[in-house]
Structures are given as C-alpha cells and as structure tokens.
C-alpha cells in the first residue's frame, strides 16, 4: 500500500472519531427562541404554554406555547413548585432520561491522555531511528532498500575508465546468470567483493552495473545505517537484511562506506564500541558461518581499506578486492564520452584533448566538468557546448571561479604579474618539469594569480630531478618579487608556494629516501597507527639528533633549488619584464605566447579559445611496470599538484 493511501485512511479514521465525539456532545434538536426563566414562569402562570419537556440532568427546559412557537430555557436551580404550577395550568409535562455517553466517546475521553503519551513516545522513537517510514517497534528491521531487476537500468556500457575492475566483476555476472556453469566443476564464486579506490571513481556505479547486467534484485545500504544508539540493534538489522536477501536470492547486497561498521575491533582510544563490534561480529557470521547464504553476493565499497578488520578480508568473506583507481588518459576520454552523450556538442569538441588537460580527475570530477560546460553554454544562450565552454569549466574546477568583482590596484596587479611570470620562467627552464599551459593574473578563488602546468602524459611516479624542479618553480614567484622590489617588499603571496615546497622537500627526506645522508629509511610518523592496532615496521620514535639531520637535509633541498631558481631569473630578467608586460596587457597568456616570450620574440595576439586547444595528438604511453611503493600511489598525478595556486589573499 502506498504512503498516500495510508495517510488517506488515517485521516478518514480521525475524521470519523471526531464526528462521533462531536455528535455525542451536541445532540438534540435546535429551538426557535431562547427564553429567560423569569419569562417562562410568567408564561406558565398566564396559561400560555401547551407542552413542557424537563431534563433534570442538565436543567434544560424545552416546550411549545399555545401559539405553536417553540422555546428553550435553563432552570438556574431546582424549583419544587414548578411542577405544581404546570399541572395547575393544564400544561402537558414530560421528563427526559439522563442521556448516557456513547461507548466510543467515553473510551476516547478516558483514554485520551494515554493515547497522547503513546503518540509522543512513537514520535520520539521514530526520530531516534532516523525516520524511514517504519513503525516504532522496527528497531531491528533492516534499512536496506530493495531495487528490483526492472528498476536497475545501469549496465557496463555506462561504466568507463576502469576496464580492469570490470573484468574482475564480470564473472560475478556470469555466476548470477548461470551458477551451474561454475558449480559443476566444483568452483564457487566469491561471497564478498570489496571495491577500493578514491572517492568519485565509480565504485557504486560499478556495483549497480553488476546488478543491471545480471538482472537480479539489488539491496543497497550504508554502513552507518546499521549502527544505532541501542546495543544489539545493528546486529539485528544485519540478520534481517540477510533473511530478506535469502528470500530474493540470487541477489546482490551492496554496503557503501563499510568502514563505518567494519573497523578493527578493539582499536582506537578507550577500547572499542560495543554496538559497532556486535554489528561487525554478526556480519562476519552471516557472510561465512554455519548458515549458508547461497546465491547472495555482498559487494562493499570503501576508500579506507587500511582500517578494516582483518576478519572481513580473509578468504570466505571479502576474499576479492577490486581496485577502482583514478582513470588514466584513455579512461578519462572514455568517461567523458559517456557523459557527453546527453550534451549537444559543437564540432570542435575533442574528448582526447580534454582528457589530456584533466590529469588526476576522477569520474565524478569529469561528470562535473561536462555539467559545468553545459551550464556555461546555457548562460550564454548557445545551442551547443563548444570547446570554449569546456575550457572555461576546466579552469573553474582546477583554479576556482573568476573573481571579476575584485578590485586590484595597478601596483598589486604588477606585482602579481611578476610573481606568476617567475613561476612560468623557472618552470620552463628546469629539467623534466611539466610544460606551462597558461598564466593568468585574473583572481580565482583565494588566489590572485595562477600558473597552470599541463603534463604531456600521466605520471605514475616522480623522479628526484622532477621533484627538485617542482621546488624550484614554486620558489620562482617569491624570488621574482624580491628581485624586482627588494627583500623588504616581498608579500605574503608565496605562503602556499612555501608550504608546498617544504612539504615536497620533507617527503623527499622522510618518505621517499632521496636524501644521501639519511638514506632509504622511513622517518615519518604513521598517521593510521591508532587504527592499525600498533606494530608495523615504521619508526615509532625519533632521536633529537635524527630530527636535526632531517631538518638540515630539508633545508639543503630547499636552499639548493631556491638558489637555482634565483640564478635562472637573474639570467632571464629581460624575459621576466616582457612576460609582466604581456600579462598586464592581456591578463591571461597561453603556451604559444609563452613560447614567443621565451624566444625573446614579439608576443602574438591572443586567439580564440578553441584555437588554444590545437595541440599534437597525445603520444601513446609505453607500458610501465606497476609501482609497488605505497607512498608513490598517493602522489599519482593529482590535479591539485599540477596547478600552481598562489594564495596571495592572506
């Protein structure tokens, strides 16, 4: 029954009850005239009354006069002589039995306070359960939402950029379609599949695609929906969820953000959480206990696999982990084509060029990029989305929205131009650095200027030479200000540059073993120790002497690259002035104009936005061996690290 029908029936019942109570309190016929008791006595003595009806329970007197007119009055107190006067004047006297209340009205009146208390209790219980439309006694009922096979329209065609992950889950579809194919050979499908990857990479979408391809029911629930304020409720919900799944088998249970309930037991400050641990224990039993769950596949998603309990990851439970990582350049191109199906595109739109300019973007980021481009086109009253809109949307996402209303003095604009020119020149002169794509002094977000680098290909790892080049280019802005205005006039605009340069230098020493003096050892503290239950091979303590050596090595890397950047800018001071003039004139210059400046040639006029995208086809990457270093995975082509945002607003 739908919620609308339930609400309609409820209001009808309430209306019937109210009408019954109203009628029980407002019975009797309506009279024509209200008469005072004094006038009534006078009419009795004058003999002008024909009939009187007396209700001793309420004191009401109704009757009919000789003229046929009806009247009503109320007796203020019982009058013993009234009956004698009525009989003496030949008035027909009738009495009324005291009217009893209806059974429904009496129950309602006597039980109304209790009903009110029960209603308030139900309301608060529903609030503590988070609503959901279930009754007050449904604490232990599962909150998993069932989607039938007809409701799921997502297929593998809607998932792009994660071909390896799709291959890993394809056999799940085959098993759900034809289990006998595997069972006759003695094989069994994994009971649980754990999808691991950064946010926005398509873990949930891939799970829906599995259900859509297999045409089976799909239960979806969040890990936080199990945990309640009452101990044992979460475990009851797990039992109820698997009971429902058994009735709908073969089916898929998808648990999003499983780390909310699957953390290591007994970890953290002050011991564990009884409710969460009982819920986890029940989940472990349901997935691989004495009871069989044939035909039920549990798919879970998380971006924090390091905090999960080892019992969840053993064979027989989540015995298969599917890595859904950030897409490479080919994957980004495929994802863009999927999202571009719904958008009318201009003739000059090339998904390959957009994919090259969006390193480190996840599937969700690319979907947002296409949506922003469509919004730009709609605001411009255009019928199609061209490359200009995609370029503007990419700049907005990577660098922030333009602050067109911000007023800057000419001196501040000039200093910002020198600052950004310093970044660009050093970035072009140091080895292995990504090419400079665009330089702008238009304020965006918190930054007053932006120097954007566009990698020629996706990077899986970073060399020592590249890292030092990045430090040099980050210091280029501050050095340019010092060279032009003097050390006393340097502004706070390089705060973000200094922070990032120092972070790179410290990681080179403590994480990546690139210091000759300290060697390939890990000196960094593990931020996840509280979830790992202690142990591990990391350095749990550090001596004062070692800390001093680390600081000295970090300072060595910083000073060496600071001096290199300073020498580059001193040797190319004429280019620094020319680039400042170009930025003051055009506010934004692209790679072609930067080439002219570096060659000490006149700067060409800016071209249309779509012309700026004319570039050579992206070279095919040679296959590389996978990087096993866990630290290098965290530095994989992040779009935040490829864009130089100068926080000059501080």
Q: Distance (Å, rounded) from C-alpha 400 to C-alpha 406?
A: 14
- 447-462: average pLDDT: 80
Q: pLDDT tens digits, residue range 395-427?
A: 888 877 777 767 778 888 899 999 999 999 999
Q: Select from 394, 329, 326, 322 the least CA-distant residue to 364.
A: 326
| Structure tokens, 206 | 């891939």
User: What domains lie within the chain, and their CATH numbers?
Assistant: 23-95 (3.30.720.210), 145-323 (3.40.50.300), 329-398 (1.10.8.60), 410-646 (1.20.58.760)
**Helix pair 363-379, 329-339: axis angle to 10 deg:** 50
* Pairing status of strand 92-95 against strand 49-55: parallel
**C-beta of residue 195 within 8 angstroms of C-beta of residue 243:** no
- 454-479: average pLDDT: 88
Res. 204: pLDDT tops 50: yes
**C-beta of residue 223 within 8 angstroms of C-beta of residue 267:** no
- The DSSP code for 308 is B
In terms of average pLDDT, the best of 135-149, 357-371, 453-467, 526-540 is 357-371
What's the pLDDT score for residue 225?
73
Map residue 320 onto helix, strand or coil. Answer: strand
564 or 104, higher pLDDT = 564
What is the percent of the chain where pLDDT is above 70?
76
- 347-353: average pLDDT: 88
| Structure tokens, 197 | 């990857």
Res. 136: pLDDT tops 50: no
Q: Distance (Å, rounded) from C-alpha 37 to C-alpha 223?
A: 76
What's the pLDDT score for residue 471?
95
pTM: 0.63
Res. 273: pLDDT tops 90: no
In terms of average pLDDT, the best of 89-93, 206-210, 383-387 is 383-387
What is the percent of the chain where pLDDT is above 90?
17
Specify the DSSP element, H or E, that contains 528.
none
What's the pLDDT score for residue 123?
66
- The DSSP code for 231 is T
Residues annotated as catalytic are 420
Whether a cis peptide bond, with omega within 30° of 0, leads into 250 is yes
- 104-121: average pLDDT: 73
Res. 568: pLDDT tops 90: yes
Which of the residue ranges 28-37, 65-74, 311-320, 363-372 would you say has the lowest mean pLDDT?
Answer: 28-37
Q: Distance (Å, rounded) from C-alpha 78 to C-alpha 86?
A: 14
Q: Select from 38, 100, 26, 50 the least CA-distant residue to 75.
A: 38
Region of 363 (left: φ > 0; alpha: ψ -120 to 50; beta: rest) is alpha
Q: How far from 474 is each of 116, 466, 636, 645, CA to CA, in Å?
A: 68, 12, 19, 10
Which of the residue ranges 18-27, 217-226, 394-403 would you say has the lowest mean pLDDT?
Answer: 18-27
Query: What's the CA angle centered on 241, arms 235 and 247, to 5 degrees?
Result: 140
Q: Distance (Å, rounded) from C-alpha 154 to C-alpha 157?
A: 8
- 334-340: average pLDDT: 90
pLDDT band per the 50, 70, 90 thresholds, residue 283: confident
pLDDT band per the 50, 70, 90 thresholds, residue 559: very high
441 or 229, higher pLDDT = 441
Q: How far from 544 is each of 55, 259, 510, 541, 549, CA to CA, in Å?
A: 102, 37, 15, 10, 9
Within 10 angstroms of residue 453's Cβ, the number of other Cβ atoms is: 21
pLDDT band per the 50, 70, 90 thresholds, residue 560: very high
- 476-481: average pLDDT: 93
pLDDT band per the 50, 70, 90 thresholds, residue 648: very low
Res. 618: pLDDT tops 60: no
Q: Distance (Å, rounded) from C-alpha 254 to C-alpha 70?
A: 77
Q: Distance (Å, rounded) from C-alpha 352 to C-alpha 618?
A: 8
Res. 650: pLDDT tops 70: no
């Amino acid at each position: 029954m739908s919620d609308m029908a339930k609400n309609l029936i409820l209001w009808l019942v309430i209306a019937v009850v109210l009408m019954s109570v109203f009628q029980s309190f407002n019975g009797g016929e309506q009279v024509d005239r209200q008469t005072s008791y004094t006038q009534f006595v006078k009419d009795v003595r004058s003999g002008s009354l024909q009939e009187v009806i007396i209700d001793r329970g309420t004191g009401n007197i109704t009757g009919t006069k000789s003229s046929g007119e009806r009247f009503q009055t109320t007796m203020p107190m019982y009058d013993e002589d009234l009956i004698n006067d009525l009989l003496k004047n030949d008035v027909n006297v009738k009495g009324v039995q005291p009217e009893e209340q209806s059974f429904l009205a009496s129950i309602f009146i006597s039980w109304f306070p209790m009903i009110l208390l029960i209603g308030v209790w139900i309301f608060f219980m529903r609030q503590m359960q988070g609503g959901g439309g279930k009754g007050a006694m449904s604490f232990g009922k599962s909150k998993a939402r069932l989607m039938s096979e007809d409701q799921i329209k997502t297929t593998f065609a809607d998932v792009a950029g994660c071909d390896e992950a799709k291959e890993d889950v394809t056999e799940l579809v085959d098993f759900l379609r034809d289990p006998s194919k595997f069972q006759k050979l003695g094989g069994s499908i994994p009971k649980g599949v754990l999808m691991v990857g950064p946010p926005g990479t398509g873990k949930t979408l891939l799970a829906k695609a599995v259900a859509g391809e297999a045409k089976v029911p799909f239960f979806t629930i969040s890990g936080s929906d199990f945990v309640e304020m009452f101990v044992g409720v979460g475990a009851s919900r797990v039992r109820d969820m698997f009971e429902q799944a058994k009735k709908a088998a073969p089916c898929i249970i998808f648990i999003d953000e499983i780390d909310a309930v699957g953390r290591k037991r007994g970890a953290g400050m002050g011991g564990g959480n009884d409710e969460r641990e009982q819920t986890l224990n029940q989940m472990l039993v349901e997935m691989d206990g004495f009871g069989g769950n044939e035909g039920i596949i549990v798919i879970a998603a998380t971006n924090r696999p390091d905090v999960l309990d080892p019992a969840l990851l053993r064979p027989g439970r989540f015995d298969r982990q599917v890595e859904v990582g950030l897409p490479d350049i080919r994957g980004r191109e495929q994802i863009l084509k999927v999202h571009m199906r719904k958008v009318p595109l201009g003739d000059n739109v090339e998904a390959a060029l957009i994919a090259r300019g969006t390193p480190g973007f996840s599937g969700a980021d690319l979907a947002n990029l296409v949506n922003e481009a469509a919004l730009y086109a709609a605001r411009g009253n255009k019928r199609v989305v061209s490359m200009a809109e995609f370029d503007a949307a990419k700049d907005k996402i990577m660098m922030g929205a333009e602050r067109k209303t911000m007023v800057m003095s000419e001196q501040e604009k000039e200093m910002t131009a020198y600052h950004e020119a310093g970044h660009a020149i050093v970035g072009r002169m140091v080895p292995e650095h990504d090419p400079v794509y665009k330089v702008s002094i238009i304020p965006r977000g918190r930054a007053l200027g932006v120097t954007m680098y566009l990698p020629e290909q996706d990077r899986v790892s970073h060399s020592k030479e590249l890292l030092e080049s990045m430090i040099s280019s980050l210091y280029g802005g501050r050095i340019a200000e010092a060279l032009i205005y003097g050390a006393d006039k340097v502004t706070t605009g390089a705060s973000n540059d200094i922070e990032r340069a120092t972070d790179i230098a410290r990681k080179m020493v403590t994480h990546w073993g690139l210091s000759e003096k300290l060697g390939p050892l890990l000196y960094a503290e593990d931020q996840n120790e509280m979830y790992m239950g202690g142990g591990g091979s990391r350095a749990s303590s550090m001596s004062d002497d070692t800390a001093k050596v680390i600081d000295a090595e970090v300072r060595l890397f910083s000073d060496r690259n600071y001096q290199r950047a300073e020498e580059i800018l001193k040797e190319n001071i004429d280019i620094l002035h020319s680039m400042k003039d170009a930025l003051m004139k055009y506010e934004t210059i692209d790679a072609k104009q930067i080439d002219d400046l570096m060659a000490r040639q006149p700067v060409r006029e800016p071209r249309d936005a779509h012309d700026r995208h004319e570039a050579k086809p992206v070279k095919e990457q040679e296959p590389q061996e996978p990087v096993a270093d866990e630290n290098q995975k965290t530095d994989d082509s992040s779009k935040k690290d490829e864009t130089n945002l100068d926080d000059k607003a501080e």
